[in-house]
């Protein structure tokens, strides 16, 4: 905006002060200026394109990081639910085993959440551990408003200190803070602890799966770290400084020289001009220079996706989503025994470890400080308490819903229309017919109105013999060739097939949206069902997208089948014995 205003003012001053004759000697055609304008625009567009690609590359890498680490945590928890000896303990031994397993899983959840938060902290160039706040991951305490994922309704919202907070499951302990403050690579430090925890847990009898399957877990961990390193590449390596300075120089030179062109060619600038104007040049200068400056600022904001509010990626929202996934994975392996185990802690603010708690920690926790174990036990208590709280909440919700349904039912009964006072025994035949018409459907009417066909009369053997005798006489007279049948015999033989043996008919269909095999099958099956209800047993086969084959063992029903099918609106024709009987869909356009 300031660049555009300065360019507009500079253009107006040139129009008012510099004479027209001097401008004519200075610049006679704008083509000489086009080369520089095209060069400046090309440099700016190229930089904006590279900045946009950097932004999306960082988005992809962060998504891969969170997705792979979430998958790895899912595998770790699922594998840890197994016992590689295939023998499960019960009683006190089983309760102790469950406690050991839960402590390892809660410690892993805290480590994964902390590793993800530290990675996001590094990407946004934040090394203050006070911004890592404790949470149970159920209800995020950080701002999660409409601008959480890049909205611009509140441009200064992310300058609030609360926007800088990242939630970590179970929080950080004093020993963890001291270790992280002295570590030059915080993400690598926690990642190494995760690797150690899993390797030692495997030796302690957990992660009970085969080595080839376990290798997939290590692969997911490595892929997540690779995504983090790819995102670090974007943040650690800035856009080349010489190119940035060249773009800035060309942009400022354009803002300085472009008003000269506009002042000369956008206005005549002389007294002899019929209608001089002094607004078009400044207006075009303001619009053009402001557009150039805006593109340059967009490129600057997109080059570093995590450090330019309000357009940066919301690290707190990404962390809250990752914590929600970790909690969901833990809830998926929740057992009824989790709320009944002897050492279950439903208190979430213990200031020291419960008595005898050391027996529930395996060799995987040998390097963990006491306050880390205490934070893990408190987080385990929060996890168990959340289940009890949710069950109570669901119970209250169910009761509230039941009361609401009861209230609605009472209101419906109170508002119901009174029943008719007419005596049922005094209803006339017209009343009953009207009631039946109201409740009957078109399909039922069609089924009731269809009359079952009568079976064929069979073949008249005497008439067939007489026809054969006439055929022999015609052959002797030379009116029929040898092997040829008379029309009367052909007709009677066709009638014999219809009345005595199986028969096949081919129905061709045409309908709106024709032709689809599944729709043709649906129509053909509906016809077969209605014919079967009328006593004509037929079998349906779809042999083409618009053709259905009907097969029947009772040839006496052929005429009735043809009559019924040709009455349907989707029927083009029915073919039997090389003869076609047209249907309603047999149109000239077909």
Kindly give the confidence (pLDDT) of every residue in the chain, 590 residues in length, as a single tens digit, with 9 standing for 90 and above. Answer: 687 788 888 888 887 887 777 777 777 777 878 888 889 989 999 999 999 999 899 999 999 999 999 999 999 998 888 766 556 666 677 777 788 888 889 999 999 999 999 999 999 888 889 989 988 667 776 665 444 544 434 444 555 667 778 999 989 999 999 999 999 999 999 999 999 998 888 888 888 788 888 899 999 999 999 999 999 998 888 888 888 889 889 998 988 888 888 887 766 544 455 566 778 888 888 999 999 988 988 888 888 887 766 667 888 888 999 999 999 999 888 876 666 444 444 444 556 776 777 777 877 777 888 888 888 888 888 888 876 555 545 555 656 667 677 776 666 665 554 555 556 666 677 777 777 776 666 655 655 555 555 544 555 656 766 777 787 777 777 777 765 667 776 676 566 555 556 788 889 888 888 888 888 888 988 888 888 877 788 888 887 888 888 888 777 778 888 888 898 888 988 988 878 888 888 776 55
Whole-angstrom distance, CA of residue 524 vs CA of residue 571: 10
Rounded-to-integer distance, Cα 484 and Cα 314, Å: 91
Confidence at residue 442, expressed as pLDDT on a 0 to 100 scale: 64
What H or E segment, with its residue span, contains residue 548? strand 547-552
The span from the CA of 287 to the CA of 308, in Å, is: 25
CA–CA distance, 399 with 326 (Å, rounded to integer): 31
Cβ neighbourhood burial of 587 (10 Å; 0-12, 13-18, 19+):
exposed
What is the 8-class DSSP label of residue 503? E
Are 515 and 546 in contact by the 8 Å Cβ rule? The answer is yes
Q: Report strand pairing: 547-552 vs 539-544.
A: antiparallel
- Please say whether the beta carbons of 217 and 108 come within 8 A: no
Chain Cα centroid distance, residue 436 = 48
Domain range list for the chain: 1-413, 461-582
**Polymer length of the chain:** 590
Report whether 308 contacts 301 (CB < 8 A): yes
Q: Which long-range contacts (CB under 8 A, 24 or more apart) does 570-573 make?
A: 570/509, 570/510, 570/511, 570/523, 571/507, 571/508, 571/509, 572/508, 572/509, 572/510, 572/546, 573/507, 573/508
The angle, 0 to 180 degrees and rounded to 10, between the axes of the packed helices 280-303 and 2-17 is 150
Residue owning tokens 């520089």: 36
Give burial (CB, 10 Å; 0-12/13-18/19+) of 459: middle
Is the pTM higher than 0.75? no
Q: Give the whole-angstrom CA distance, residue 118 versus residue 237.
A: 19
Superfamily of domain 461-582: ACT domain (3.30.70.260)
Per-residue pLDDT at 224: 94
Where are any strands of DSSP class E within 261-373? none
Task: Convert 285-295 to b/e letters by CB count within 10 Å (16 or more is b).
Answer: bbebbbebbeb
| Helices (H), ranges, 204-310 | 211-236, 241-265, 280-303
């Amino acid at each position: 905006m300031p660049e555009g205003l300065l360019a507009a003012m500079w253009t107006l001053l040139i129009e008012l002060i510099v004479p027209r004759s001097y401008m004519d000697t200075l610049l006679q055609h704008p083509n000489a200026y086009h080369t520089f304008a095209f060069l400046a625009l090309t440099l700016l567009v190229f930089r904006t394109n590279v900045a946009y690609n950097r932004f999306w590359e960082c988005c992809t890498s962060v998504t891969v990081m969170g997705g792979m680490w979430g998958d790895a945590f899912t595998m770790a928890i699922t594998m840890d639910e197994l016992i590689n000896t295939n023998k499960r303990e019960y009683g006190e031994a089983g309760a102790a085993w469950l406690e050991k397993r839960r402590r390892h899983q809660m410690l892993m959840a805290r480590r994964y959440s902390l590793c993800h938060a530290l990675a996001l902290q590094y990407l946004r160039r934040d090394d203050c551990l006070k911004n890592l706040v404790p949470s149970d991951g159920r209800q995020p305490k950080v701002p999660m408003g409409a601008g959480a994922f890049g909205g611009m309704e509140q441009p200064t919202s992310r300058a609030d200190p609360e926007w800088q907070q990242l939630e970590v499951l179970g929080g950080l302990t004093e020993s963890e803070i001291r270790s992280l403050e002295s570590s030059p690579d915080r993400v690598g430090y926690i990642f190494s602890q995760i690797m150690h925890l899993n390797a030692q847990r495997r030796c302690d009898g957990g992660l009970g799966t085969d080595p080839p399957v376990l290798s997939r877990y290590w692969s997911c961990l490595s892929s997540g770290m690779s995504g983090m390193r790819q995102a670090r590449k974007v943040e650690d390596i800035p856009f080349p400084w010489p190119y940035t300075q060249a773009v800035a120089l060309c942009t400022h030179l354009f803002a300085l020289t472009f008003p000269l062109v506009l002042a000369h060619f956008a206005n005549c600038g002389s007294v002899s001009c019929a209608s001089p104007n002094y607004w078009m040049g400044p207006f075009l200068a303001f619009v053009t220079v402001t557009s150039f400056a805006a593109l340059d600022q967009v490129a600057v904001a997109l080059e570093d996706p995590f450090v330019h509010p309000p357009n940066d990626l919301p690290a707190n929202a990404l962390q809250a989503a990752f914590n929600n996934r970790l909690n969901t994975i833990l809830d998926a392996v929740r057992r009824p025994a989790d709320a009944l185990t002897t050492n279950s802690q439903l208190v979430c603010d213990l200031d020291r470890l419960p008595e005898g708690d050391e027996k529930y920690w395996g060799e995987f926790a040998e390097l963990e400080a006491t306050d880390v174990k205490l934070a893990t036990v408190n987080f385990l208590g929060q996890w168990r308490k959340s289940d009890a709280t949710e069950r109570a909440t669901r119970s209250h919700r169910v009761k509230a819903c039941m009361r609401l349904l009861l209230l609605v039912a009472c209101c419906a009964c109170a508002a119901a229309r009174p029943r008719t006072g007419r005596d049922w025994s005094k209803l006339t035949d017209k009343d009953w017919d009207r009631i039946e018409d109201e409740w009957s459907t078109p399909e039922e009417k069609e089924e009731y109105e269809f009359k079952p066909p009568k079976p064929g009369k069979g073949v008249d053997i005497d008439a067939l013999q007489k026809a054969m005798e006439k055929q022999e006489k015609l052959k002797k007279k030379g009116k029929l060739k040898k092997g040829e049948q008379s029309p009367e015999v052909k007709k009677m033989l066709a009638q014999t097939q219809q009345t005595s043996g199986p028969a096949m008919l081919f129905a061709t269909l045409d309908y709106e949206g024709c032709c689809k095999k599944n729709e043709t099958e649906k129509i053909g099956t509906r016809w077969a069902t209605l014919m079967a209800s009328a006593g004509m047993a037929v079998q349906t086969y779809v042999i083409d997208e618009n053709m259905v084959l009907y097969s029947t063992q009772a040839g006496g029903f052929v005429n009735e089948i043809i009559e019924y099918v040709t009455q349907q609106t989707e029927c083009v024709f029915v073919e039997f014995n090389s003869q076609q009987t047209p249907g309603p869909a047999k149109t000239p356009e077909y």
